[in-house]
A and B are shown apart, each in its own frame.
Chain A
Amino acid sequence: MKRLAIALLLALLLAGVAGQFLLPARYDQQFRDQTDALPGGQHLLGTDELGRDRAARLLAGARVSLLLAPAASVLALVLAAVLGLSAGWFGGWWDRGVSTLIDLMISVPIFLVLITARAVLPLNVSPVTSVMITFLLLGLLGWAGSARVIRGACRTQLNSDYILRALATGCSRPRLLFVHLLPNLWPVLRTQFIVAVPAFILDEANLSLLGLGVAEPLPSLGSLLKELTHLPSSPNWLGLAAPAILLAITVCAFEFLLPPKEGSS
């Protein structure tokens, strides 16, 4: 199962990188006499409203999102783990400070943070840079929820019998952290990661509304997924649903790639 997942992810990555050589059209080429074409013939998944090849856009978008969303998730998760664990571990004023910060991050309208960030960043950046910035922002802002969960889980673990027993037997603190605590928090981290990847991919699409998403003409999975909302009125359901199918496959693959520690026996 795990091998299959790795193979799938590698295949996706490869297709994303090599896609531009496999397909007849570039992702930004506008076939203006073939707009909204149905799948078939020259265009495997049809074309979008500007006549761009949906298959080429899907592969290009997948390359962007599938490379960067996991990276952003890892960034967010590292931040969350450091803050959440340390809060749970040290307790006291540090815990209160971190908890306040988490509460603040969760309650403040992030929308405004992003608008303000947009104002600070220059307008004239290349599409690739804009993608990087977007996912960096997502990683830097998206840790609060996970941090709270990790902190909670950490506290539960610290109060659990086996830790108490380990402490009683004179287990050193670093050993306690790395041998007992972290491995037991692994399922929580894993869940957070798997939930964060698609969430970030979708968030990126919404950020383009604020001028912070992937810039034209570069596609991303998120911006392609947004087109799903035209599904009810479009005959090209395959072309529109393909990004969602691809994303679902990816998320599944991650599920298998990061198995729960003890297995499900």
Chain B
Amino acid sequence: MRNAILRRILSSLATLALTGLAAATLLRLAPGFDVEVSELDGRTSAETLRQMREARAGEQDIVSFYGRYLRDALQGDLGRSRSYEVPVTGLIAERLPVTLKLIAWGLAGAWACALLLALANIAFPKVELGFNLLTAVMLSVPAGLVALLILMGQRPVALGLAIALFPKLFSYSRGLFKQNAATGYALAARARGLSAASFLSRYVVWPASPALLAILGLSVNAAFGGAILLETICDLPGVGQLALQAALARDLPLLVGMTLFVGALTVSANAVTDLASLYLTRGRGRA
């Protein structure tokens, strides 16, 4: 077990470093990397243009840039944002609480509703049609519209995130529950006249827990993705909004710093859920 954990942590770190490099390379390759809007200013002379372009020369060679960046990052320095001209760590520290709160509430709400309704669906199969319609409608509405409605109704943004995450989580967990409810064991147990509560917990939810954990890790990623959209539309100053602005402004230090930081969060969330799932399956294997 300890070996597995160690291996998981090492591979997570490697993934993280790779992710940072991939983000840096992509941004460097993205069109418009070394262009600034101010170049369109009709007043600017050729000499000034030349000097403006020179200022970005340090970021041209991405490998050496990334090497230097990682070295500094290990010492806790994520560099200085080009577009905001402030240290990246400060920006992240300022905005992280907003996003963490949003994601925590959003995930909690979405998971609670998804699990409860999925169980309700198993317990009362007759409502299935209603649930199908509900999820179909929710999947068909763009998250942008949800964000806008939240904004207009002045409701908490986390509600929007929960609404955006809910249908997928519901579909997954219902699928898993159904599958478990239909196994021979479960059917036999039910035929024995097991109470609904213990049937659901022992034969439906418990066997699904490793898979649910895997999805939990994934939903953290999805929540960060949703946060980008919701924070941007609802103008919530979190890291999601910051990440999009960094990409749009081709702000290399900021984007790489953000990728590493958010990557560290999601990768560790995934590692934890993976290990937990490993632990659960192992435990079961022994039983």
A contacts, CB < 8 Å to B: 96, 99-100, 103-104, 106-109, 111-113, 115-116, 118-119, 145, 148-149, 151-153, 155-156, 159-162, 184, 187-188, 190-191, 194-195, 198-199, 202, 205, 225-226, 228-229, 231-232, 244, 247-249, 251-252, 255-256, 260-265
Contacts and interface: CB of A to CB of B under 8 A. Distances in A.
A103 B19 contact: yes
Given A99-B11, A145-B218, A195-B171, A251 B140 contact: yes
Given A99-B11, A103-B19, A264-B125, A152 B259 contact: no
Given A187-B175, A255-B132, A148 B31 contact: no
Given A202-B142, A255-B136, A107 B125 contact: no
A259 to B, nearest CB: 11
B182 A149 contact: no
B30 to A, nearest CB: 5
B206 to A, nearest CB: 12
B133 interface: yes
Contacts of A265: 125, 182
A155 B22 CA distance: 29
Contacts of B148: 229, 232
Contact of A116 (B29, B184, B244): B29
Nearest to A99: B11
Q: Count chain A CB atoms within 10 A of each CB in B175, B182, B259, B285 and give the residue with the most.
A: B175
A112 B14 contact: no
24 contacts: A103-B270, A106-B218, A107-B263, A112-B23, A112-B30, A112-B247, A116-B30, A148-B218, A149-B172, A149-B215, A153-B214, A156-B210, A159-B284, A160-B207, A187-B175, A187-B176, A202-B142, A248-B137, A251-B136, A256-B132, A260-B175, A260-B182, A262-B182, A264-B128
B18 A104 contact: yes
A200 to B, nearest CB: 11
B210 A187 contact: no
Contact of B145 (A162, A229, A249, A256): A229
Interface in B111-140: 125, 128, 132-133, 135-137, 139-140
Interface string B22-36: 110011011100000
B171 A104 contact: no
Contact of A152 (B133, B139, B168, B215): B215
A152 B213 CA distance: 9
B140 A119 contact: no
Nearest to A145: B218
Nearest to B178: A260
Nearest to A96: B11
Closest 3 CB pairs of A and B: A152-B214, A262-B182, A112-B26
A249 B139 CA distance: 11
Interface string B202-226: 0000010011001101100110000
Contacts of A228: 141-142, 145
B178 A187 contact: yes
A249 to B, nearest CB: 8
A191 B174 CA distance: 9
A262 B186 CA distance: 13
Given A99-B11, A190-B175, A264-B125, A156 B211 contact: yes
Contacts of B18: 100, 104
A260 B14 CA distance: 39
A206 to B, nearest CB: 8
Contacts of B267: 103, 107
B13 to A, nearest CB: 11
A115 B27 CA distance: 9
B218 A149 contact: yes
Contact of A111 (B139, B168, B175, B247): B247
A234 to B, nearest CB: 13
A188 B284 CA distance: 22
A103 B218 CA distance: 10
A108 B172 contact: no
Contacts of A205: 142
B222 A199 contact: no
A252 B172 contact: no
A251 B132 CA distance: 9
B255 A109 contact: yes
B22 A244 contact: no
B269 to A, nearest CB: 11
Contacts of A190: 175
Q: Which of A109, A198, A231, A263 has most chain B Cβ within 10 Å?
A: A109
A252 B267 CA distance: 34
A261 B210 CA distance: 21
B140 A191 contact: no
Nearest to A203: B142
Contact of B175 (A118, A191, A202): A191
A106 B259 CA distance: 11
A4 B217 CA distance: 37
B160 interface: no
A79 B128 CA distance: 30
Contacts of A202: 142-143
